[in-house]
Structure 1
Amino acid sequence: MAGTGGVSPSQTPTLPTQPGAMTPGRIGCAEIVRDLAWEHTPLGPRDRWDPAVTATVELVLTSPMPMAFCFGDRFVLIYNDAYADLIGTLHPAAMGRPAADSFGELWRSPGIGGVVEDVFRSGQPFLEPETQLTVVRAEGTRPEQAFFTRGHSLVRDSHGTIAGVLTVAAETTQVTRRLQNLSELTSRLAAALTVDDVARVVLGYAMASFDVDLCMFAVDDGNGFRAVRRIRGEMLDEADERLPPVWKRLSDDPHAPLVASARANRPSFVPDGEPLRAVASDRHERRIRALAVLPLRTASLKGSLSIGYRAAHTWLPAERALLNAAAQLVAQAAERARRFEAQHGTAQLLQRSMLPEHLPELERFRIAARYDVGVDGNAAGGDFYDAFRLADGRLAMVLGDVAGHDVRAAAVMGQVRAALRALALTEPDPPGVLAGLDRLVTSLGAESRNEEIFVTVVYGVLDPADGTITLASAGHPPPVLRRAGLGGEPPTAELVKVPPGAPLGLGGRWQTGLVRLEPGDSILMFSDGVVERRGRALNDGLDALVAVAAGASSGDPRNLCSLATTAVPGPTDDDVAVLAVERAVALSRSATMLVAAEPTGPSRVRQWMTTWLREWTVPEPVISSAILCTSELTTNALLHAGTPAQVHIDLNAVRLLVSVADTGTRGSVIRAHTDTMSSRGRGLGLIEELSDSWGTDPSVRGSTVWFELLLRSTSD
């Protein structure tokens, strides 16, 4: 590896004799890589390389800068022509061989192999300052002192696993950092699941690596194109970075550089002029003088990436090559993301279409549920919930889990849920319903010749007259019961003592348990994905869930569902389903407003809310906070979803609950503290600070963001 790692000149390693610049007739590294028998190396056949590894190798071979990629823990070398000039007579034998075998004792010299091994094992990139390297340019010539800056970065494969180390030797720190950023771009793009994710990564990379005044990223959208941009000086905080980018549809103008480059699959570089004058949408674009536009083209995607400066800029060959390499990586990532979105959307639609779109509304009981896809979000799962009225006025409530994360699991789930409804509407007694489901699962297993269908269910019947719930469990975790506390005592929570029963399909017998909800109490059913984590005991997860329920600011079911999904830290490999029911202390008052997707929407919501809340004699401090938060959420929904929004307010003796629902695809809203004022992240910061609790609920048709304000807090 070029460089000394801080070794003093007297100890500077001397690399083998250099053959000089590449001469006609000399075989290039790209040809060697093409013809090498890789099946005999740790990388295996080239057609089976991981896409991220392939992209890294292509980047190395096309770069004009000396670059080497050390693959795996044996550090198998792949390098380019510029790097071959540095290692001299070790080339071409070093290609495709472990670095230690090729370099011999030199690999163990200070600042050579040890640096690469440290980066690989520590997972931390390393950028060395300018260091000396003694080289011999050609046989018979005197040794010379050359100066290089080396950057070592991790390369991860498309699964996020460390694949190797990319080393760049450059003569300027700026170029080295750009190439290191390109390596980091590869890693970040590998983790980008959606086109929105790709856009965020690309815009951040371009602004940081090239210090540009304008960056735009465009992809085809039907017969046209849509684009997102970033400009210099735009204030962005953590919440802004995570919010969905604001896309703008581009006019199909042949003079538009982004559109022209995408359609012709041809790059363009303007060093000075007014490249965006004919299509500029504002002063930021009109002021651009130098513009580079790179096409993004794959088998199923067209797009373009552009960066621009307000001053004249010479696009040097090295910079063009770097931009071209970045564009290729971005195009591959965007195509992957588009395929993921299509598959993810299908899986989500299949999953959610099997779940109830609306839950029953009872006079003195409130119900909420939530379903979050686990694993990679790209497969339908078997978790389900349901709640429905029975013929005698009681409420049936169920939460179940079919093992598996595929279409088959979702299909079994749909059959079990439909059968449970049919059985419960005929004879709602829990043991009888579970016995009927047991026969169904046994039949499905025999029909498919698969005895491994594993289904668990907890099923209960709530009597609204006295709040009693008759429960039975078929191998499912028991629900959590939250007691509101009496006479000022703090709330408590515990697992309901339900007699254990065998999972469905095993021919078991089931007994019932009885629990009574007093006013203010809540019950929470959940799937095992809520409490199970790798490497942790199940009881730890159950204890954490019980503690979170007891510490909740209220027993509101929507709040409990939101808290339950994050009660146990760490990622889960399973789907997550929760269903909560609260017995209200008193009847609540509610109102709903449908807001059109137009600029006057937020102001109309503010007037409507003010009228209702003052009529209900809500304290003024609560009204002010509620209106401010609702206005921000409504603006966010109309801006990012682009569909009408539905605002719902619900007031009882202890709290005000507000929800804003849309039918768009703006993605999940995240919790984030915002320390600086910005154009969009401010809303989330306000809700975080002003509300007692808040969350987001994905649904079949869009998402709902809600917040809760406790009325008693106004007298504290």
Structure 2
Amino acid sequence: MSGADPPRDTGGLDAAVAETMRRTGASVAAFYLLVPEREVLQMVTVGGVPADLAAPWARVALASPAPVADAARERGMVWIGDHAELTRRYPRSAVLLPYQLALAALPVEGDRLWGVLLLIWPGSHPPRTTRRERSNLASSSRRLARLLDEAADAGRPPTAPRTPRVLGAEDIRRPAGPEYLMAAADFAERLPEGCCALDLQGHVTFVTARGAALLGADPRTLLGTFPWQSLPWLGDPVYEDRYRAAVVSRRPVVFTACLPPDRWLEFRLHPDASGVSVQITPVAAGRHTGAPAQNAPDAPAAPPGVPDTAPDAAPTSASAAPAPGFPTAADAAVADGAASGHPASLAPARLGQLYQLLHLAAALTETVGVRDVVDLIADQIMPAFGAQGLVLSTAESGRLRITGSRGYPPEVIERLDGLPLDTRFTPAGQALASGVPSFFGHPDEMARIYPEAPHVSGKQAWAFLPLIVSAHPVGICVLTYDRPHDFPAEERAVLTSLAGLIAQALDRARLYDAKHQLAHGLQQALLPHRLPATEGLRVAARYLPATRGMDIGGDFYDVVRIDAGTVAAVIGDVQGHNVAAAALMGQVRTAVHTHATAGAAPEEVLARTNRLLADLEPGLFTTCLYARIDLERGRARLVSAGHPPPLLRRPDGSALRVGVPPGPALGIDEGAAYPVTEIDLPPGAVLVLYTDGLVERAGTDIEEAIDQLTGRLATWSAEDPERLLELLIGHAGPAERRTDDIALLLVQRTPGTAGADRRP
């Protein structure tokens, strides 16, 4: 992750997180600050892992499926006992942490919800927490909340840095004295095998003369470097991953590697909270034979896309296979052409960037509409690469239409929107035509060929990423920076690979949006725009689609005025969530409306509609509830075709479930009969008709859910049907958790008051 250095901790937050690690025995800890205005959790400080490992999860959208986001939304602890549970519940997080571990995410709440504390333990931790441990975790969260409350009261509230502060070993453990350090160095030098030490970031902090000799390097050139960078033959990501596995799992890891041309070495990694000690031992001739890199017993396996093997007999290191369907960074040509002044280059990405790519790829597969794609790029991809601006354009009718942006004033977006595909105003047209990304690290580079572009945008660096799907240009993604920005070859490689994934997600999202708009338009055209005004009757109705990401369904409602003193209320649910369901819904509503206005009895209305659907053979079944209300007598006659029972709130405030014997769903049995139930409907009574989306919950019996809703209905006021309708919808839970559509129709008999048209 690029950007300015994180600010120094001024409120003791880092010390508190380090103390929490010591108290709980966690190997990794991080504090996420809630940023309400952006609806994100931003990592402020982290300890126990390398900075680049934390980078992909340094910023988490509050709505994302992640443990820390769930802990913040639900205001409760999320516990993950092992990696299998993490994979099952949070597959995207499991991609980032492919190691055996246990995990807890706890809300940090004092005067306000400050954020979330994340703690990770090695896989040796029991999969279940004890009561004592839960109490200890809760007290750790409270201590952190008190610290933040006090800092805020003192005028020093925590702020979200661009990059998180990373705790070093000296923060987590007190360093030993110089005499001890000298004795330890002497001890290591006397050992027959080679030794070296790495800190939690992966830097070489100590190496013995024997260790340096085995590695074929001068000790002075190794200190302070990453071994996979200072020793080219260890440059394969598979070896860096072995180090990561040791750091996160806190378990010994063993692997072999070949020092060209033919010297095989065995590396034994022994981790703890301060870093990793490495034993380096020559492998006897005949023992290596392509010996696999392996973990100690019960240690975690290599992550997806990274093989756990060393080379067979070649004088170079093993090559990590890419994850299925993803190009390797070395395959990604990141030539930006003569326009940028940078030569074409190929570079293998570091392991952290590969994990980042896998994480972002997994996130892109979860996007549904174009807005989802724009939000994901803004919330995760921009911070991951340190960008401050975004312009996402699609190719439409020979022009680049901006579908989303961040970090630009409206007047600039208006100036850039609608540029022709062959524009010479910016590099967007050339990049899209050639399919080759363009990178400009400084305004002078841009101004040499596109003199107006820097002045219009006010940005200082640009990455133009063409979005191509099957040789067809979909659009272009432009990441921009407020300051000059170098684009290292590795970063270009990852961005180029990422552009292909964005292109596929954007193409899929555009198709979904088109289909969704068609279905939504069809359904809105078929639902009533107004409910009829009837003397002595008040009505309220609402249709709510399911969680974003599902298609429009076939739920419907209607109120039919039969004569001056009689109305019919109907609600139904067509199986499915697609255009076919919406179309069938229109046919059912029309049929019911026609038979009702013709004066048919309630049982005949459903019987005739049922025969019609049986003749049409739509392949979908429909549930329906029909109520014919006699306003003068205060009676209602109800029939049901497999629909959930209505609820009745009496004038005295009591509520009950109306027992309506259900007949078969419409369209199944051509000769089905529908029994009639007659009830009193006194003035002030409210009849509640609904579809099953209002009461269905995963893992909950629907009969119990209906009883619970009936009990709540008795506690609410019925003076205003619209307000009562809102309370019923609120009982269904947050919109993001609904898995089915909801149609809701409330009918209240009033003593002689004139109704008014109400928009649903």
Give the shorter-chain TM-score range.
0.5 to 0.7
Q: Given residue 237 of structure 2, which amino acid in structure 1 is its aligned partner?
A: P
Contact 2:390 2:406 in 1 (8 A): yes
Which amino acid in structure 1 is aligned with residue 439 of structure 2? Answer: F
Deviations 1:24-67 (A, max 9, x none): xxxxxxxxxxxxxxxxxxxxxxxxxxxxxxxxxxxxxxxx9736
Q: Distance in 2 between matches of 1:385 and 1:246?
A: 42
Letter matched to residue 511 of structure 2: R
519-528 vs 555-564, which moves further:
555-564
Match of 1:270 in 2: 440
Counting aligned pairs with the same residue, the percent is 29
Structure 1 residues 496-507: aligned runs within 5 Å: 496-504=658-666, 505-506=668-669, 507=671
* 1:210 matches 2:381: no
1:256 and 2:426 are equivalent in the alignment: yes
1:209 Cα deviation from its structure 2 partner: 0.8
Structure 1 segment 544-555 matched on structure 2, within 5 A: 544-552=708-716
Q: Which residue of 1 aligns with 2:365?
A: 190
Give the 5 Å matches for 1:73-152: 106-109=293-296, 114-116=299-301
Q: Secondary structure at the match of 1:115?
A: coil
Amino acid paired to 1:278 = E
CA contact under 8 A between 1:178 and 1:209: conserved in structure 2? no
Partner of 2:647 in structure 1? 480
**Cα distance in 1, alignment partners of residues 531 and 740 from structure 2:** 24
Measured in 1, the distance between the counterparts of 2:301 and 2:435 equals 38
Q: CA deviation at 1:212?
A: 2.4
Contact 1:477 1:527 in 2 (8 A): yes
Does the alignment pair 1:318 with 2:493? no
Q: Structure 2 residue aligned with 1:455, among 595, 601, 622?
A: 622
1:579 counterpart letter in structure 2 = L
User: Taking structure 1 as reference, are residues 279 and 580 closer, same or farther at Cα in structure 2, changes over 3 Å only?
Assistant: farther
2:561 aligned with 1:395, yes or no? no
- 1:423 is aligned, of 595, 598, 604, to 595
For 1:454 and 1:216, the matched residues in 2 are separated by: 45
Does residue 529 of structure 2 align to residue 357 of structure 1? Answer: yes
Conserved in 1, the CA contact under 8 Å of 2:637 and 2:676? yes
Q: Distance in 2 between matches of 1:156 and 1:493?
A: 57
Whether the 8 Å CA contact 2:537–2:753 is kept in 1: the answer is: no
CA separation of 1:217/1:455 partners in 2, compared to 1, >3 Å: closer, same or farther? Answer: closer
What do the CA deviations read for 1:152-189 (whole angstroms, capped 9, x no partner)?
A: x9x8999xxxxxxxxxxxxxxx9655443322211111
Q: Which has the greater radius of gyration?
A: 2
Distance 1:248 1:562 in 2: 42
Q: Are 2:400 and 1:228 aligned?
A: no
2:678 partner amino acid:
L
Q: Map of 1:344-383 to 2, 5 A cutoff?
A: 344-374=516-546, 379=551, 381-383=553-555
* Equivalent residues of 2:256, 2:292 under 8 A apart: no
Are residues 203 and 380 of structure 1, via their aligned partners in 2, closer, same or farther at CA, if it must alter by over 3 Å? closer
Maintained 8 Å contact 1:290/1:308: yes
Q: Residue 444 of structure 1: CA displacement?
A: 3.4
The alpha-carbon deviation at position 204 of structure 1 amounts to 1.5
333 and 67 in structure 1: CA distance in 2 versus 1, 3 angstrom threshold: farther
| Equivalent AA in structure 2 for residue 582 of structure 1 | Q
Alpha-carbon spacing, 1:65–1:553, altered in 2? closer, same or farther (3 Å): farther
Match of 1:522 among 662, 671, 686: 686
Match for residue 509 of structure 1? 673
In the alignment, is the contact (CA less than 8 A) between 1:19 and 1:138 conserved in 2?
no
CA distance in 2, matches of 1:555, 1:389: 23
Match of 1:256, SS? coil
Give yes or no for the alignment of 1:219 onto 2:394: yes
SS in structure 2 opposite 1:330? Answer: helix
What are the within-5 Å matches in structure 2 for residues 526-675 of structure 1?
Answer: 526-552=690-716, 556-565=720-729, 567-568=731-732, 571=737, 574-583=740-749
Say which SS state the counterpart of residue 580 (structure 1) adopts: strand
Instruction: Name the CA shift for 1:134/1:543 in 2 (closer, same or farther; >3 Å).
Output: closer
Question: Which whole-Å CA distance do the structure 1 matches of 2:544 and 2:500 have between them?
Answer: 33
Partner amino acid, structure 2, of 1:295: P
- TM superposition shift of 1:261: 3.0
Distance verdict in 2 for CA 1:114–1:552, change over 3 Å:
farther
The residue identity in structure 1 corresponding to 2:387 is V
Contact 2:543 2:743 in 1 (8 A): yes
- C-alpha distance in 2, partners of 1:198/1:332? 10
Aligned-partner SS, 2:381: helix
1:210-257 deviation digits (Å, cap 9, x = unpaired)? 2223232222344431143323999xxxxxxxxxx9998344452133
CA distance in 1, matches of 2:236, 2:635: 74
Please give the root-mean-square deviation of Cα atoms over the aligned residues, in Å.
5.2
Q: Structure 1 residue 403: deviation in Å?
A: 3.2
Closer, same or farther: CA 361–178 of 1 in aligned 2, 3 Å: farther
Shift of 1:11: 11
Whether 1:295 aligns to 2:295 is no
> Which residue in the other structure is 2:558 paired with?
386
- Residue 114 of structure 1 aligns to a residue in which SS? coil
Structure 2 CA distance for aligned equivalents of residues 135 and 511 of structure 1: 74
Question: Conserved in 1, the CA contact under 8 Å of 2:534 and 2:561?
Answer: no
Q: Pick closer, same or farther for the CA change 1:373–1:69 going to 2, 3 Å.
A: farther
- Note closer, same or farther for the CA distance 1:322–1:189 as it changes in structure 2 (3 Å cut): same
Contact 2:540 2:722 (C-alpha < 8 Å) held by counterparts: yes
1:493, CA displacement in angstroms?
Answer: 2.8
Alpha carbons of structure 1 residues 205 and 66: separation in structure 2 relative to 1, 3 Å: same
| Deviation of the 1:427 alpha carbon | 1.4
For the residue of structure 2 that corresponds to 1:481, the secondary structure is strand
Is this contact kept in 2: 1:355–1:384, CA < 8 A? yes
| Counterpart secondary structure, 1:369 | strand
> Relative to structure 1, is the Cα distance of residues 396 and 190 closer, same or farther in structure 2, using a 3 angstrom cutoff?
same
For residue 494 of structure 1, give the secondary structure of its aligned residue in structure 2: strand
CA–CA distance in structure 2, aligned partners of residues 582 and 232 of structure 1: 51
Query: What's the counterpart of residue 674 of structure 1?
Result: none
Q: CA deviation at 1:193?
A: 0.3
Q: Could you say what secondary structure the match of 2:357 adopts?
A: helix
The answer on whether the counterparts of 2:555 and 2:743 sit within 8 Å (CA) in structure 1 is: yes
> 2:608 corresponds to which letter in structure 1?
G
Structure 2 residue aligned with 1:180:
355
Moved more, 435-444 or 192-201: 435-444
| Alpha-carbon distance in structure 2 between the residues aligned to 1:356 and 1:2 | 52
Residues paired across the two proteins, number: 462
Amino acid at match of 2:658: V
State the 1:520 CA deviation: 4.4
Match of 2:611 among 439, 448, 451: 439
Q: 1:269 to 1:85 in 2, by over 3 A?
A: farther
**CA gap 1:483/1:267 in 2 versus in 1, 3 angstroms:** same
Q: CA deviation at 1:320?
A: 0.8
Q: Which runs of 5+ in 1 are unaligned?
A: 21-63, 71-83, 92-101, 127-132, 145-149, 159-173, 235-244, 486-490, 592-649, 651-658, 660-696, 698-716
Q: Residues of 1 paired with 2:367 and 2:529: CA distance?
A: 30
Please give the alpha-carbon distance, in whole angstroms, between the structure 1 residues aligned to 2:461 and 2:256: 34
CA distances 1:600-627 after superposition (whole Å, capped 9, x unpaired): xxxxxxxxxxxxxxxxxxxxxxxxxxxx
Q: Structure 1's 548 and 343: CA in aligned 2 closer, same or farther, altered over 3 A?
A: farther
